[in-house]
Amino acid sequence: MSSKKILIALSGTAVLGAFLLYANGFGNNESNSNDSDLRANDLVIVKTDEKISIPEGAIAAEGIVSDTSQSIEEMSIKSDLIIKGRVVSQEQFSSIVTHSTIEIIEQWKGNSDTETVIVYQLSDETLELDKQYILFLGKQEEEKENSYYIKGGHQGDLLIDNGDLISHSSIISNELINLASEKSRSSRESSVEEKLKLLITQSN
């Protein structure tokens, strides 16, 4: 059986080498004596730069390390797609990975020609259903054309809450506070979302 490789951004991780996360996604509880460290329904993190064999019934998720940014501008430049979107559905892809379907409301960077995109995350870091976000996304290299991962883990998702933008990252939060306090160059008062959109379009 062929394995799937899913890119997951791990924010705050500073470990060298490639990470492969293994989890059984097909309910196979049989273990192989030659693969005692890769039992079904277990999570195994392997640090390696070499190719390794993947046990039957396992799904591979490749993590991106040191994917964090030091500014919104840097994260924007690193992103393949930046959108304002709403989480319309979620599905458990494997025992450790969830994918969310995002309805695109606005596209700030990139050229997606679909009305929705699929975003893969570790299951304990998933977006909230029916909520709107600004998402900084990286392209899944071996999946469907509209499949992405969030840059920097949670750093690349900004929850829209009653006109405010909420970030899990102190770096991004401080920059959003400064952005909100800046006076608009136009005659009308701009929201922090509008100021962010302007910053991103000017950076790319």
The pLDDT tens digits for 68-108 are: 888 999 999 999 999 999 999 999 888 888 899 999 999 99
CATH of the domain at 139: 2.40.50
- 198 and 114 co-located in one domain: yes
Please indicate, yes or no, whether residues 158 and 101 belong to a single structural domain of this protein: yes
Of 52 and 7, the one with more pLDDT: 7
For 44, which DSSP code?
Answer: E
Percent of the chain past pLDDT 70, that is, above it, reads 63
pLDDT at 112: 87
Name the residue with tokens 């599905």.
91
Clarify whether residues 47 and 83 are in a common domain: no
> Average pLDDT over the chain, rounded to whole?
74
DSSP H or E segment with residue 192 = helix 192-203
State which residues form the domain around 159: 72-203
- Given 40, 64, 88, the domain boundary residue is 64
Short-list 61, 57, 65, CA closest to 30? 57
Is the domain of 121 the same as that of 183?
Answer: yes
The two beta strands, 18-24 and 5-9, are unpaired
User: How many structural domains comprise the chain?
Assistant: 2
Query: Do 77 and 166 belong to one domain?
Result: yes
Sign of the CA dihedral 169, 174, 178, 180? positive
Please tell me whether residues 54 and 136 are part of one structural domain. no
Per the model's pLDDT, the better-predicted residue between 200 and 55 turns out to be 200
Of 30, 64, 98, the last residue of a domain is 64
pLDDT digit string (tens) for 21-67?
444 443 333 334 344 343 333 444 443 444 555 555 555 554 444 46
Residues 99 and 58 in one domain: no
Q: Which residue has the higher pLDDT, 32 or 138?
A: 138
Are 89 and 56 in a shared domain?
no
